[in-house]
A and B are shown apart, each in its own frame.
Chain A
Amino acid sequence: MGRFIARRLIQAIPTLFGVLLITFLLSRLSPADPVKLMLAGNSEVTVEDRQRLMDALGLNDPLPLQFVKWLWQLAHGDFGQSIYYHRPALDLILERIPNSLQLSLLALLITLIVGVPLGVIAALRRGHVEDHAIRVVSVAGHAIPQFWLGLIFVLTFAVQNRWFPIGSMNVVGEDCTFCWDRVWHLMGPVLVLSIAGIANLPRILRTEVLEVISQDYVRTARSKGLKENVVVAVHILRNALIPVVTSFGGILVIFIGGSLIIERVFNWPGLGRLTFEAAVSKDYPVVQAGVVISSVLLIFSYLLRDITYAWVDPRIKVR
């Protein structure tokens, strides 16, 4: 297992390198001139001063050298200073990550609690009303834009009826993580996020269950007189769930990518909203850090998924 994890970690390095390269190139291709931004409104600057500032900032270095220097900075945790907050960009982001994780992990949990039974029911009742209903729900879940669902939620349950708060994490003045107030604020965003997951999981699980159901060992289990519940829980579900682990990758992409939109709709102070607000105020270092960190989160979740997969299905390690 240790060797597998090590190999998988090494494989993540070129991916991370690619992510950093793309982010770096995008910032260099930018038509916005950082020197001009810094000197805005200062009319006494001569061409020589400009050149000296360019030199001091390293903007006259060849691109590869600039890239290496930037990587060196990142390796020391330096993502630059936020123009808006006058604080290190990394600190700002690290403060917000727990808030975002709260959303995605809870949504993942709800996806599992609701999605697994739905997938099993769809497979066991194949061709019946339940199966068709679940299929309709999952297709609809794919077609409805997350943010629009969020908007409808806000409009119906927060604006027209005051059942839920319009946004944010806590009522003003209260600041707690484990209290009714937080649960109340979490409900909207988590519900909307998990609907995206619930659209995905049952369809994948249904296929897997159908595959397992026709296996010999399931027939054996039935023929030796085991109760149907035991057959489903022990013999079918345990084996069908293995490939489902891989689908977590896709679901996490939806959650991490979706955070940008959902946190905007529900005004949730997480990584997504920070990056969005930084983008609005042209706070480039923070946006850049937001993109890099969200990608790192994604690479990390892929890694975690593969390790879980190898753990539940040891055949994978050999490959």
Chain B
Amino acid sequence: MATEAAAAPLPIPAKEVRRASAGLWSDAVWRLRHDPTTLVAMAVMVLFVLVALGADFLAANFFHRAFSQQDILSAYDKPSAEEPWRWFGTDELGRSSVVRLLYGARVSLFIGGFGALTAFVIGITAGLTAGFFRGRWDDLIVWLVTTLNSIPTLYLLLIIGILWRLEPLPFALLLGGLGWLGICNFSRGQTIALREREYVLAARTVGCGPIRLMARHIAPNILPLMIVLAMIEVGQLILTESAISFIGFGIQPPTPSWGNMLTNATQYLSKAPWLIYPPGIAVVITVLCLYLVGDGLRDALDPRLRGAIGAKR
């Protein structure tokens, strides 16, 4: 934007012609289109999701290896550029690290995404209703949030991991069921502030019921920020999943996840050190991009930053 202004001949043409006045969402899209960092991060995320979804296709047609295909003769092979499936080396059974990474992406991204969706739904429902109705219900929710906040998540997951062996879907639900606290706290606080506003009172006086008040008058105002929080939650859950799978109480082999690939890698640390890099770097890039997208979305969606284009921060 700064370059545009610099290149423009004097007198400077009216700036506002560049777009029609817009609603929240189209405005956000306009803003995002002018934010290269966020766009790059989004593109990387889209690429990761596509690669994860197309894991079967890529494994069969490009790498010519299944994720569980063993080849003892080429065990502990260093990464090499010869054939695509050797790009990231092989593990102790001669399985291709890069193909396993693709399938791991599938599990990790699914758990992060679906878990965050669960957390979003629970968190916003609990937060909205608690902040709106207050009273006993509010006390109950606050108690639940404080309690769950007081148990270290990994310890809780450990105890659950001993008792049940979880498949990716229940595991995602479980992580979502533990990850809604932040979203709940935030939406509850916002709701408490918003329910005292005049327009809510006005809606109430014309006879809106509580559900309509929450859904039509309060929720739209807190939704954008909650989407940002959910985005960041995806990254958090991917980190949690990798940590608990790493110590062996999350996703169990043979299903590869980035976390349990690292468990495997630690056992052969001196023999095949290259195995610990790909899953770790995949987690870092994913979480980093999710943070950047979340950050960019917040700037794009937060109405309080309106009119401060170009003077971001």
The interface bits of chain B over 284-296 (1 if a CB of A lies within 8 angstroms of the residue's CB, else 0) are 1001100110000
The interface bits of chain B over 159-182 (1 if a CB of A lies within 8 angstroms of the residue's CB, else 0) are 111111000000000000000000
Q: Give the complex CA separation of A261 and B249 in angstroms.
A: 12
- Quote the shortest CB–CB distance from B170 to chain A (angstroms): 14
Whether A257 lies near B262 (C-beta < 8 A) is: no
The interface bits of chain A over 58-79 (1 if a CB of B lies within 8 angstroms of the residue's CB, else 0) are 0000000000000000000000
Which residues 263-300 of B sit at the A interface, judged by CB distance below 8 A?
Answer: 265-266, 269-270, 273, 276, 280, 283-284, 287-288, 291-292
Whether A261 lies near B273 (C-beta < 8 A) is: no
Whether A288 lies near B159 (C-beta < 8 A) is: yes
The answer to whether A256 has its CB under 8 Å from any CB of chain B is: yes
- Which of B68-76, B117-125, B144-152, B221-229 is the interface stretch? B144-152
Whether A30 lies near B284 (C-beta < 8 A) is: no
- Quote the shortest CB–CB distance from A130 to chain B (angstroms): 14
- Which of B49-57, B191-199, B239-247 is the interface stretch? B239-247
Number of chain A residues whose Cβ lies closer than 8 Å to a Cβ of chain B: 51
The answer to whether B154 has its CB under 8 Å from any CB of chain A is: yes
Which of these, B159, B269, B291, contacts A142 with CB under 8 Å? B291
Whether A31 lies near B155 (C-beta < 8 A) is: no
CB-nearest residue of chain B to A30: B163
The interface bits of chain B over 99-131 (1 if a CB of A lies within 8 angstroms of the residue's CB, else 0) are 000000000000000000000000000000000
The answer to whether B18 has its CB under 8 Å from any CB of chain A is: no
Which residues 236-264 of A sit at the B interface, judged by CB distance below 8 A?
Answer: 253, 256-258, 260-261, 264
Whether B152 lies near A18 (C-beta < 8 A) is: no
Number of chain B residues whose Cβ lies closer than 8 Å to a Cβ of chain A: 43
Whether B247 lies near A291 (C-beta < 8 A) is: no
Whether A15 lies near B155 (C-beta < 8 A) is: no
CB-nearest residue of chain A to B277: A152
Q: Give the complex CA separation of A299 and B288 in angstroms.
A: 31
Q: Give the complex CA separation of A264 and B265 in angstroms.
A: 14
**Interface SS of chain B:** helix
The answer to whether A160 has its CB under 8 Å from any CB of chain B is: yes
Whether B163 lies near A31 (C-beta < 8 A) is: yes
The answer to whether B84 has its CB under 8 Å from any CB of chain A is: no
Whether B154 lies near A261 (C-beta < 8 A) is: yes
The answer to whether A302 has its CB under 8 Å from any CB of chain B is: yes
Given contacts A15-B143, A142-B287, whether A298 and B150 have CB atoms under 8 Å apart is: yes
- Which of A41-49, A105-113, A215-223, A276-284 is the interface stretch? A276-284
Whether B164 lies near A31 (C-beta < 8 A) is: yes
Whether B150 lies near A302 (C-beta < 8 A) is: yes
Q: Report 21 cross-chain contacts, Cβ distance below 8 Å, ordered by A residue.
A: A15-B147, A16-B150, A18-B146, A22-B147, A32-B163, A142-B287, A143-B284, A143-B288, A148-B283, A151-B262, A159-B273, A256-B152, A257-B153, A257-B155, A261-B154, A279-B158, A279-B162, A287-B162, A291-B159, A298-B151, A298-B152
- Which residues in B have some Cβ–Cβ distance to A below 8 Å? 143-144, 146-156, 158-164, 235, 239, 242-243, 246-249, 262, 265-266, 269-270, 273, 276, 280, 283-284, 287-288, 291-292, 313
8 tightest Cβ-Cβ pairs between the two chains A and B: A18-B147, A257-B152, A148-B280, A143-B287, A143-B288, A30-B163, A260-B154, A295-B151
